[in-house]
Amino acid sequence: MKETQLGSLLRPVRAGNAFEETVERLLQAVKLGVVPHGERLPSERDLAVHLGISRVTLREAIRSLQEAGYLDVRRGRYGGAFVIYRPPGPSGGDLAEAVNQMGAGDLADALTFRMAVECGAAQILATLTLDSAQRAMLLRRLADVNGAAPSDYRRLDTAFHLSIAELTGSPLLAAACADARLRVTDLLNAIPVLGPNIAHAAAQHQAIVSAILAGDPDGASRAVAEHLEGTAALLRGFLA
């Protein structure tokens, strides 16, 4: 076994210090819209437990997000950390800037990773026999995206994609898909939400769901690949 594989196994044990990782995690949860504008995060005590860190470290992270203008922290009962941040509107943000902020190699890496895990998840899900509740969940998320207001579109689009991984019943796979999506959140948020694109995406979403429900793994994987390739090509085009 060559040196190359040693790199995969003897890679860093931790990405950074607990504080930095926590800020990153919370920031992405906010940017992704997991906790929408106006809603509050779980209490510090709960969050600290879920994130596996001390309340002190969590508070430092929350404080920095507060100072950066993402959160409004209120005390007392029924208080908490409320999300102030609003993602870029339907008109999108500065895509070129967002793309060039991350390295070309990192972008390619993230896109490849996302393609692999999301295709894999759809493929797996298509081989499973879904019960009625699971089918309902999938269709519900699809309907949510199709009926989304422009300002909610990206949030519900993300929810739809993550549902596919979650329905496989594999937490590891769900985490991998969530991670993959987090790495391109800023970029996706900068893409304008335009009518034709939405219609195109809707057709592709439908194709994905149909293939999954029909038990067609290859078809599901291919449908996801086509869907993701669209935004991937767009993003790659912005590499200076």
Q: Residue 117 Cβ, how far from DNA at the closest point, in Å?
A: 27
Beta bridge partners of 74: 80
Residue 5 binds a copy of itself, judged by CB under 8 A:
yes
Q: Which residues here bind DNA, judged by CB under 7 A?
A: 14, 17-20, 41, 43-45, 52-57, 59, 62-63, 73-81
User: Which CB sits closer to DNA, 41 or 107?
Assistant: 41
Q: Please, which residues have CB within 8 angstroms of residue 176's CB and are 6 or more apart in sequence?
A: 117, 165
* Residue 87 interacting entry, from a copy of itself, DNA, none, C-beta within 5 to 8 Å by type: none
Q: Which of 68, 96, 97, 109 binds a copy of itself (CB under 8 A)?
A: 109
User: Which CB sits closer to DNA, 78 or 147?
Assistant: 78
Residue 124 binds a copy of itself, judged by CB under 8 A:
yes
Q: How far apart are CA 23 and CA 43, in angstroms?
A: 16
User: Which CB sits closer to DNA, 56 or 199?
Assistant: 56
Q: Which range in 42-50, 84-92, 96-104, 186-194 contacts a copy of itself by CB under 8 A?
A: 42-50
Integer CA distances (angstroms), 234 to 54, 183, 237, in order: 41, 16, 5
* Residue 79 interacting entry, from DNA, a copy of itself, none, C-beta within 5 to 8 Å by type: DNA
Q: Residue 222 Cβ, how far from DNA at the closest point, in Å?
A: 43
* Residue 226 interacting entry, from DNA, a copy of itself, none, C-beta within 5 to 8 Å by type: none
235 close to 188: Cβ distance less than 8 angstroms? no
* Residue 77 interacting entry, from a copy of itself, DNA, none, C-beta within 5 to 8 Å by type: DNA
Q: Residue 100 Cβ, how far from a copy of itself at the closest point, in Å?
A: 20
111 close to 118: Cβ distance less than 8 angstroms? no
Binding site for a copy of itself (CB under 8 A): 1-2, 4-6, 8-15, 18, 21-22, 25, 28-29, 32-36, 42, 47, 50-53, 108-110, 112-113, 115-121, 123-124, 155-156, 158-159, 162-163, 166, 168-178, 180, 182-183, 217-218, 221-222, 225
